[in-house]
Structure 1
Amino acid sequence: MHHSFRVTALTAAVFAAFSAHATEETDPAAVVVIATRQPSRISSLTTDVTLIDRTAIEEAGPNATLGDLLTRVPGIELSRQGSRGSPEGVFIRGANTGHTLVLIDGFRASSATLGQTAIESLPLSQIERIEVLRGAASALYGSEAIGGVIRITTRPSADSPRLDVSLGAGSRGAQEASLAHAGHFGQFDYALRLSDSHSRGVSAITNQSSSAFNADKDGFWRRTMALHVNWRPSEKTEIGAQWFETDGMNRFDADGFPPFGPPASSDWQTRHKITNYAAHAKTQLVDNWSSELRVGRSEDNSVSTPSFTLGQANDSFKTRQDQFVWQNDINLPLGKALVAIETLREEIASTNIYTGTQRTTDSLVLGWNGSAGAHSWQVAARHDDNSQFGGKTTQTLGYGFRFAPAWRISANTGTSFKAPTFNDLYFPNTPFVGVGNPALQPETGRSQELALHYEEGSTQASLTAFRNTIRNLIQWEESPPGSFFYTPRNVGQARITGWTAATSTRLAGWTLGGHLTVQDPKDTDTGEYLIRRAKKFATLSLGQDTGRWSWGGEIQGSGPRYDAPDFFTKKNTKKMGGYGVVNLHGEYQFDHGWSVFSRVDNLFDKRYELATSSTTNYASLGTTVFAGVRFVLK
């Protein structure tokens, strides 16, 4: 194991065993929605949840990506093919990137052709808080929630500063500007937020032996706009609407295999736009019954230029998801019940001609959670009726017991699934590429976890053991062998076992935290480790807030990982080494709302990789520096 990772892992383990205080991000009294779909205190939950608040988001810096921030959460690893702005994927407890459901203000915002959300397109300047649920959650949320769920809440209109302006610049031409204004009059409140960022970046591919190598800089730009409007005619009723849009372009390196496609010297780029429209109305019908109606549309539009297809100008993929949710929360003599009805209609359009372009899923969700004395519980069941593959029912069951004032244990078990993507099902018959398979069935998962928690005052620490078995994994296989023609089938199986120790501490103005994950993520068919996933990874953080000054940093470490299995034997042959990086951040508050901030990532210029292929090594950033100024008018 890499020496720098040994140090990080050992220190995090020591913190996990002996820490005594908690930070705000993991405060057991904090309230989250993700675990039950109803507001619940973290200390009352049986599931494994992390809350990232606005303070932690600001400490990450506006130059950071959502993927960068999520790697500081227990149990999460990152994959990225190049510098910031390149496609990102996260692995929660070793599950595939497509096994994480991402919600933006409660709605799906993903590509139905790829089956995952472009998290690299979501700027931190627009995010108020992030809730992360580890473990199977299809019983609450449906498809994709095999490894976990990430719930992103954009910055609201209520309780926001009247004016929030930020400007910053840094290494490799990085620049970020954001402007936000919020206000209220009478029963109405509103917020408008704008942001713009760009960077020259670095060349996405580092090895000249790759046929896709191009020494140009592969940078990105991104512009984001959001509008929130709410009306509260009474204490029991709220009606609101919101619009969120992020539009950006990322350059990358590729090889179109001339004369069949463009050469590697082409200006390869992808324009990506994500748009969310939503409206909601919630009211308390009677003292023990509240109801909320939410409707929304999300769009994911990706256009890559030039096209990999001869004679075509670009490759375009557009997903539109219309979503309807009616949720009812009912206070019972013991606990609280959840009854929800949902409809999801997915539709795609592309420069490729798919044999199927739309499907509908109707869902019923039932839940019951609560506590009585030393006991707590979470129960949920969901049935999804999908127009493509039929019905799917999932369940989850959790129990917690507080056996001493500061100590509790919890256990959870649940089932989960992921519906096949439109690429899996309906990809057009393409020579030397392949064709989709409409007969595919969903991937399925079953997970168990057992956790020990310690909480007293501002204290929190936990040790969680987990096991996730995933079956019917969809794999594209060459058929017949040697044809370079691939068809997807339900043939794969994976089993991921492991444990995570997490803790944080606050003492005399100092904040410390750490987490360590040890896992065994294996393909049970081949016996090989799942690609891009380490057996061990950890983070250790330290910070101090003295009033005007706040500063801190973290050490992040990962053990070795594998990528790009051998084409014929399926054995892991390409190894990515372990690494450890050190990041620093600081801020100084002036009078009258002004402040300056700075951040240094990868302080010691460590060279490492987050992704490779059989012939290509993708770049990661070396040392980066970013600094700026912020003005906030309360």
Structure 2
Amino acid sequence: MSRKTILVCGTALWVLAQGAAWGEEAVKVPQVDVIGITPVPGLGIDRDRMPANVQSLGGEVLDRGKGATVSDLLERRLGSVSLSDTGGNAFQPSLSFRGFNASHLMGEPQGLAVYQNGMRVNESFGDLVNWEMVPSFAVNRADILPGANPVFGLNALGGAMVMDMKTGFSYAGTEVMAAGGSFGRRKAMAQHGARVGNVGFYGGVGHSGEDGWRQRSPSLVTQAFGDLEYRGERGSGGLSVGFGDSKLTGNGPSPVELLHNSRSAVFTSPDQSLNRQISVSGRGNLEISDSLSLQGSAYFRHVSHRTLNGDSGSFGPCQNVAPATQLCSDPGEGDEAALTDINGNAILASAGGTGMLNRTETATTSLGASLQASLDRPVWGLGNTLVLGLSEDEGRTRYHSESEVGSLLADRSVGGGGAILGTSTYWTELRSLNRTVGVYFSDSLSLTDRLTLTLSGRYNAAQVVLADRFGTELNGDHMFERVNPAAGLAYQVMPELTAFAGYGEANRAPTAAELSCANPAKPCRFPNAFLSDPPLKQVVSRSVEMGLRGRAQAADGSWSHSWSLAGFGTQNQDDIIFVASGQGTGTGYFRNAGRTLRVGFEAADQGRIGPVGWFVNYALVRATFDNDVTLHSPENPGANADGDILVRSGSPMAGIPMHSLKLGGSYEISDEWQVEMDAAFYSSRRLRGDDSGLGRRLGGYEVVNAETEYKLAGFASAFLRVDNLLDRRYESFGLYGEAASVFPTFSDNQFRTPGAPRSFWAGLRAKF
């Protein structure tokens, strides 16, 4: 961080302190439903003063999830959230909110900033989010703050998700749970929270596994989280430790003709992902005076990620450039080339060639710290809350990829031949450094008792340094800077009704992974290798939003009701997308695609009357290209002779359903017995590689789930859940690829990931 930045922020903090000393007694804003307004935990604002349609998962919903992932619960409850089964593994979905993604998969257009107790969860190497590393049992509350949100830093193009984790002050008691179900599924979880005087402790551990309903698709996930917190009269502080370990098999999309024969069939295997994470984060809050307070947070996070992917190969005995005993790429064609191993030796044809085993190893160490000051005192006699802060995040990544020549076996698994391919096309050694500095402010001014004006802004400076350890093609040093503003109004028409409107801007700097794979002449066998380093422009988003919300409840708590209506629009400038190259399924490069536009409407209603509860959430999200653009999609049957498709302005983007509806209800039959049902309906969506709409879409579908829980004793209960009760056949993700390399008789280039069939869960849990 520069001396100039430190001087400016230090001066501003001094001014805040002087304002607290000069001001009169602070005017505290009533906080009923408090929403975190910055990445640093410990500071929030009343939901009624927020100029946006904030959507939340509270403790009651998370508690009833019984170990379900946070991403699953978000999809079940929130209308603008949809999941795509991009990798074919339920633990690692791609989450879309208002058409912006938070995904584990490189190649997805990322656009949500995700925080856990002030720790940035987006991986610095590719802005990825590994959802299976989030311990859902330890989440106390999850809020999605929509729209381009500058305060939350880079990648908050479509909004920010803030997860508040449990502490000994928010959770008390002991709970254990064990469950099993279809396809070898099993879960176990234990958690305990307690408070002794000014000290609170929380600890939890969970384990999940399954054999998988598709062929050769077992998975294991282990999570642990602990928190120690102290709360005094003038301050508080806490320390959290997290651990996650997963071994996942995601066999991805399969050709539609193969799925027609068997829904559980996989194209090629293995397709394994091994993740491990350890994190330590600290937070503190100090009340200097009745009106001035300081909040701070810091974190350390180390994530290792290994993959093993079996793919079909197009190698064979040389015909022109070398003896037939040697192995060549594109044998018999004009660009035939003899293959060599990592030591420069010729590879013999006996090593195989019909298959490849691709391996990657990614290790990222992230550090970050934030400091902010909050001043709550009148300005010109008007209530005002001012926040000023600065942050720095740094991530260092070691990336390695290699490819082994193999043979495609009868069951379409790949056996290795022992020869590791050489040259930078198949072997990558990359180091990257991501450093981001931000200075931000947020000010909420009560113009009247009912009208609140919120102004905010942030300066972002992001540096991305790439060091090629195998050659020189990947070397690069990139710098991205921007100032993003935001403004909004919230008007409390009456105690039960609030109107709001807002505007905001945010930016996302290209990640190291994107900058290393941006040359169409040298596409990547994504995500297994990076081959070039031309520049990409940063993405800038501008969003508007307006709406109404209301809530009411009986004084005796016998009923409660809340609802919201919101319209929104966000335009991305220089959006970054992944384009297929046609040189194998999953091969391509990143590019700026000009403007994209996401506009829509949300309507939500939820409540409870006595033993009956309900929720209804509808969303219309129209995500389109906002200019004409030509994209390469050679496997698309509508592509021209060069393999290009013309995408017109207004054409819907792939993978995002326009309409989605979530609804559910619960009924307490007695004090011991409760039943619930929920359903999700989605309209059709386009396949990746078909943004021009030339091919068949993924059809719309609905999924209905049912659950019941019965108390066996004062502290124990049994539950049963049925997912996909109607056993619908559906697909949430698809793309264009080449199936003929494995199945010469297949003529359809569509690949799809099948949705899981009907499955059952049954378990016991006890609370003490």
Q: 1:586 to 1:389 in 2, by over 3 A?
A: same
Partner of 1:242: 240
Relative contact order, higher structure (CA 8 A, sep 6+):
1
Q: Would the aligned equivalents of 2:310 and 2:358 in 1 still touch at CA under 8 Å?
A: yes
Query: Which residue is 1:103 aligned to?
Result: 115
Please say if 1:586 is aligned against 2:708. Answer: yes
Q: Is 1:563 aligned to 2:639, yes or no? A: no
Superposed CA offset, 1:301-354 (max 9, x none): 210125779878831112222110112111021221101110011211111446
Q: Of the candidates 73, 85, 89, which is equivalent to residue 94 of structure 2? A: 89
Deviation at 1:83, TM superposition (A): 5.1
After superposition, the Cα gap between the structure-2 partners of 1:169 and 1:474, relative to the gap in structure 1 and judged at 3 Å, is same
Q: Residue by residue, what CA displacement relative to the aligned partner does 1:457-509 show, whole Å, maximum 9, x if unpaired?
A: 33322211111111111235589999x98553323321111111111122232
Distance 1:460 1:186 in 2: 36
Contact 1:161 1:182 in 2 (8 A): yes
Instruction: Give the count of matched residue pairs.
Output: 582
* Letter in structure 2 aligned against 1:318: A
Superposed CA deviations along residues 89-112 of structure 1, whole A, max 9, x for unmatched, are 111112244101111112112233
* Structure 2 equivalent of residue 326 of structure 1: 371
Match of 2:223 in 1: 224
* 1:82–1:620 contact (8 Å) kept in structure 2: no
By how many angstroms is 1:34 displaced? Answer: 4.3
**SS of 2:137's equivalent?**
helix
Q: How does 1:122-521 map to 2 (within 5 A)?
A: 122-137=134-149, 139-203=150-214, 216-232=215-231, 234-253=232-251, 266-305=269-308, 314-333=359-378, 334-352=383-401, 353=428, 357-371=432-446, 372-387=448-463, 388-427=478-517, 433=524, 435-437=531-533, 439-457=535-553, 458-476=560-578, 487-521=589-623
User: For structure 1, which runs of at least 5 residues remain unmatched after alignment?
Assistant: 1-27, 204-215, 256-262
Cα distance, 1:226–1:516 mapped onto 2, change above 3 Å: same
Structure 2 CA distance, aligned partners of 1:478 and 1:513? 40
How far is the alpha carbon of 1:226 from its aligned partner?
1.4
1:444, distance to aligned residue in structure 2 (A): 0.8
Q: What TM-score, normalized by structure 2, do the two folds share?
A: 0.71
Q: How far is 1:42 from its partner?
A: 1.8
1:623 to 750, 758, 765: 758
Cα displacement (A) at 1:603: 0.7
**Distance in 2 between the 1:150 and 1:395 partners?**
19
Question: What amino acid is the match of 1:178?
Answer: M
Q: Is the 2:280–2:301 Cα contact (8 Å) retained in structure 1?
A: yes
Partner of 1:573: 695
Change (3 A) 1:564 1:36: closer
Structure-1-length-normalised TM-score: 0.85
- Residue 64 of structure 2 corresponds to which residue in structure 1? 59
What whole-Å deviation, never above 9, does each CA across 1:364-391 have from its counterpart, x for those lacking one? 1111114331202221110012223232
Paired letter, 1:169: G
The one-letter code of the counterpart of 1:403 is V
Instruction: Name the CA distance, whole Å, in 2 between partners of 1:297 and 1:36.
Output: 15
Distance 1:39 1:480 in 2: 49
Q: Does the Cα contact within 8 Å between 1:564 and 1:573 map onto a contact in 2?
A: no
1:79–1:265 CA distance, 2 compared to 1 (3 A): closer
| Most deviating of 470-479 and 368-377 | 470-479
State the distance in 2 between where 1:178 and 1:480 align.
45
Contact 1:608 1:620 in 2 (8 A): yes
- 1:553-603 per-residue CA deviation (whole Å, 9 max, x = no partner) reads 11210011111224xx95452411111121112222343321222221111
Instruction: Give secondary structure in 2 for the equivalent of 1:68.
Output: helix
Distance 1:291 1:131, change over 3 A: same
Classify the secondary structure of the residue corresponding to 2:72.
helix
Q: Distance in 2 between matches of 1:596 and 1:485?
A: 48
* 1:307 and 1:315 in contact (8 A); partners too: no
- Alignment partner, residue 527 of structure 2: none
Is residue 301–residue 317 contact of structure 1 (8 Å, CA) maintained in 2? yes
What is the rounded CA distance, in whole Å, between the counterparts of 1:376 and 1:432 in structure 2? 50
Which runs of 5 or more residues in structure 2 are unaligned?
1-30, 103-109, 254-265, 314-340, 343-356, 402-427, 464-477, 525-529, 554-559, 629-646, 737-749
Deviation at 1:161, TM superposition (A): 3.0
1:10-49 matches, cutoff 5 A: 29-34=32-37, 38-49=43-54
- Equivalent AA in structure 2 for residue 31 of structure 1: V
Q: What is the CA-CA distance between 1:142 and the residue it aligns to? A: 0.9
Matched, 1:613 2:735: yes
Structure 1 CA distance, aligned partners of 2:269 and 2:656?
32
Please give the root-mean-square deviation of Cα atoms over the aligned residues, in Å.
2.8
Is contact 1:389-1:441 (8 Å) kept?
Answer: no
The within-5 A match list for 1:112-123 is: 112-123=124-135
Q: Which residue identity is paired with 1:320?
A: T
CA distance in 1, matches of 2:583, 2:712: 67
State the one-letter code of the partner of 2:751: T
| Secondary structure of 2:515's aligned partner | helix
| Matched residue type, 1:392 | R
Relative to 1, partners in 2 of residues 1:400 and 1:191: Cα closer, same or farther, differing over 3 Å?
A: closer
Q: Which residue of 2 aligns with 1:76?
A: 81
- Going from structure 1 to structure 2, the CA distance change for 1:522 and 1:343 (only over 3 Å counts) comes to same
Give the aligned residue type for 2:359: N
Q: 1:267 to 1:466 in 2, by over 3 A?
A: same
Is residue 601 from structure 1 mapped to residue 723 from structure 2 by the alignment? yes
- In 2, the alpha carbon distance for the partners of 1:268 and 1:402 equals 53
Identity %: 18
Distance 1:76 1:266, change over 3 A: closer
Task: Give how far 1:355 is off.
Answer: 5.6
Kindly provide the CA deviation profile for residues 138-166 of structure 1, in whole angstroms up to 9, marking residues without a partner as x.
Answer: x1111111111111223222242332111
Distance 1:427 1:625, change over 3 A: same
SS of 1:156 mapped into structure 2: coil
User: Are 1:34 and 1:131, in contact at CA under 8 Å, matched by a contact in 2?
Assistant: no
The answer to whether the aligner puts 1:537 opposite 2:660 as a matched pair is yes
Closer/same/farther in 2, CA of residues 124 and 31 from structure 1, 3 Å limit: same
Query: Corresponding residue for 2:24?
Result: none
Larger radius of gyration: 2
Q: Is this contact kept in 2: 1:219–1:250, CA < 8 A?
A: yes
Q: Structure 1: how far apart are the matches of 2:201 and 2:64?
A: 26
- The residue type paired with residue 629 of structure 1 is L
More displaced 10-residue stretch of structure 1: 339-348 or 312-321: 312-321
Contact 1:330 1:336 (C-alpha < 8 Å) held by counterparts = yes
CA distance in 2, matches of 1:287, 1:402: 27
Amino acid at match of 1:283: L
**Distance in 1, Cα, partners of 2:152 & 2:39:** 10
CA separation of 1:134 and 1:485: change in aligned 2, threshold 3 A:
closer
1:517 to partner: Cα distance: 1.0
Equivalents in 2 of 1:580, 1:327: separation in Å? 45
Q: Which residue of 1 aligns with 2:320?
A: none
> Residue 628 of structure 1: CA displacement?
1.1
> For the structure 1 residues 129 and 265, does the alpha-carbon distance in structure 2 shift closer, same or farther, using more than 3 Å as the test?
same
